Amino acid sequence: MQSGFTDSSGRSISYLRVSVTDRCDMRCVYCMAEDMVFLPREDVLDFDELERLCAIFIGRGVRRIRLTGGEPLVRRDIDGFIGRMGRWLRPEDGRGPGRLDELTLTTNGSQLPAHASALVDAGVRRINVSLDSLRADRFARITRRGRLGQTLRGVRAAREAGLAVRINTVAMAGVNDDEFDDLIRWCGEIGADLCLIETMPMGETGEDRREQYLPLSDVRRDLSRRWTLEPVRAAAGEAGGAGPARYVRIGETGRRLGFITPLSHNFCDTCNRVRLSCTGQLYTCLGSEGATDLRALMRDGGSDADILAAIDGALAHKPARHDFRISGPGGAAGAMAGVGVQGPARHMSVTGG
């Protein structure tokens, strides 16, 4: 079913990413500053407010919702909220009034041992787990405070609970670019897909994105020398472009390998998603500064019709494409030369990954 939301470029918006918190138990170098100042509790939407906004989106045709953070599973009573959201899901046999095709989650994995079963009970069938290294010391440096063993236990708990897992790895030159073969083998062993992501210039994190930027076109060319990469359609559950990854199947493992390339190969022409922050800010583009304040409208007594009108107004100005740019040491050349680093001042964790 086509979404009732259409943006300024005629794209149908059917996918909503919802941040439930800006807080996290890690401080990944590409996502946050090491000394983050988190939002006051009163600025964050309560679960009733979050569900109301999600219901408005669902009522107009959004069919997929992904819960994000920060780290979504550190929010108190999150299992209850996910259970409430699960009631919007269409029954798996297709019989019933559910209006949501899929509810998913992106997590760093640290809290999964305590929550994996509740996710399955709520109707979540697949999740993304952020993991940028299989080496404990390197993992600790990238996350600044994470423990590899804890995340690996989380991945194991998710698989044992019956969740399909995709591992998300931010590819960083000189940081983890010697581990992609190991990650491919490991994902094959545990039955998980892997997605490599180009680093995006969002917020000041104390790291030089120019040094870290690694074009995935180069990575794919290198991997093809050692692995059989067979083009495939989007991963199960992502048909119709529910995400920006472009997939291949690895002949030797049978698992999928995805590439998300916001810098080296723009994918905005197929964008079907918007993002709702935990403070009720609606971001129509990850790479744009503009936002629409739905929290103020809602707390001032705005009706569902008022909120819908505000969403439509925001979509009327959704950019045709993002404008992430990195040039300089390790960065892109050509048209981007001389630009340096260009992207929103807000951190990735503010938007909701």
DSSP per-residue string spanning 156-224: HHHHHHT-EEEEEEEE-TTTTTT-HHHHHHHHHHHT-EEEEEE----S--SS-HHHH---HHHHHHHHT
| Annotated binding-site residue? 133 | no
Alpha helices in the chain, H assignment, sequence order: 47-59, 78-86, 112-122, 136-143, 148-161, 180-190, 209-212, 216-223, 294-299, 304-315, 348-351
| Annotated binding-site residue? 268 | yes
| Annotated binding-site residue? 106 | yes
Which residue's structure tokens are 């992430």? 324
| Annotated binding-site residue? 200 | yes
Pairing status of strand 5-6 against strand 12-13? antiparallel
Rounded to whole angstroms, the Cα distance separating 56 from 305 reads 9
Question: What is the 3-state composition of the chain as percent helix, strand, coil, each rounded to the nearest 5?
Answer: 30, 20, 50
| Annotated binding-site residue? 299 | no
| Annotated binding-site residue? 156 | no
How many Å separate Cα 82 from the centre of its chain?
Answer: 17
| Annotated binding-site residue? 28 | yes
- Across the strands, what pairs with 258? 195, 247
Token pair belonging to 37: 């100042």
* Distances, alpha carbon 268 to alpha carbons 166, 190, 247, 296, 308, in Å: 22, 32, 16, 29, 24
Please, are residues 127 and 157 in contact by the beta-carbon 8 Å criterion? no
Domains of the chain: 5-351 (3.20.20.70)
| Annotated binding-site residue? 325 | no
| Annotated binding-site residue? 273 | yes
| Annotated binding-site residue? 348 | no
Residues 6+ apart with CB under 8 A from 334: none
| Annotated binding-site residue? 187 | no
Tens-level pLDDT at each residue, the chain (353 residues): 445 898 888 989 999 999 999 999 999 988 888 888 889 999 999 999 999 999 999 999 999 999 999 999 999 999 999 999 999 999 987 766 789 999 999 999 999 999 999 999 999 999 999 999 999 999 999 999 999 999 999 999 999 999 999 999 999 999 999 999 999 999 999 999 999 999 876 555 555 656 788 999 999 999 999 999 998 875 444 544 456 889 999 999 999 999 998 776 566 777 889 999 999 999 998 767 789 999 999 999 999 999 999 999 999 988 765 555 445 545 544 333 334 544 455 556 566 65
Rounded to whole angstroms, the Cα distance separating 205 from 348 reads 10
| Annotated binding-site residue? 54 | no
pLDDT of residue 96: 66
Please, are residues 67 and 103 in contact by the beta-carbon 8 Å criterion? yes
Please, are residues 68 and 106 in contact by the beta-carbon 8 Å criterion? yes
| Annotated binding-site residue? 130 | yes
Residue 282's Cβ-count burial label (10 Å; 0-12, 13-18, 19+) is buried
Q: The pTM is what?
A: 0.87
Rounded to whole angstroms, the Cα distance separating 32 from 125 reads 28
Q: How many CB atoms lie within 10 A of CB 80?
A: 12
Please, are residues 3 and 58 in contact by the beta-carbon 8 Å criterion? no
| Annotated binding-site residue? 275 | yes
Token pair belonging to 157: 């708990």
